[in-house]
Amino acid sequence: MKIGNNSSIDIMKQANLQKVQKAAQTALKRQEEFPGEESKRSAKRDEYIPSEKDEPIGLYNMEYNENGSPGIKFDSPESKPADKPDKTDKPADRPEEPEEPEKEKSKSEKCVCDTGKVDRELKKLREKAERLEQQLRSASGGEAEKLQKQLAAVQSELAQKDNDTYRRSHAEFS
């Protein structure tokens, strides 16, 4: 599709060319106003210089053992730097721990969870709900409405308390 002498594509190219020319002029003006600014930007660069491993300065390092599980190693300044530490060497900062008898190590502590109190409370609520249902069957009129409200309240409380979360939170541990 032609519009006069120029096509729509030619018009778009001219518009983009004008934008590029304007940006170049702006850059030239900026260089004239602030000479040397661009050279300062390009001169500031970080450079990585690899170095050999320094002597230990007392830091903790995470290392993996021969099984692949992680462990923590302390590089103390007093210890000699070595490629692989001896398994018999103990770090200078850790005193020797006295070995405990086997009986004390095998001793375990037992904890008992008792939910008897919660179970008794729930049993009483169920019995109360049954009694109210029986009374409701034989009641009439205004008394029936009163019993119906009491039964609804008891059933609501029972539904709220008869779950594992309530049992866990109100259990007794000894």
Give dist(CA 101, CA 105) in Å, integer.
7
Q: Helix 142-161 crosses helix 116-138 at what angle (to 10 degrees)?
A: 160
Q: What is the pLDDT of residues 121-171, one digit of tens each?
A: 999 999 999 999 999 888 888 888 899 999 999 999 999 999 888 988 888
Q: Check: pTM over 0.85? Answer yes or no.
A: no
Q: Is the pLDDT of residue 62 over 50?
A: yes
pLDDT for the residue 58: 66
Pinpoint the alpha helices (H) of 107-171: 116-138, 142-161, 164-169
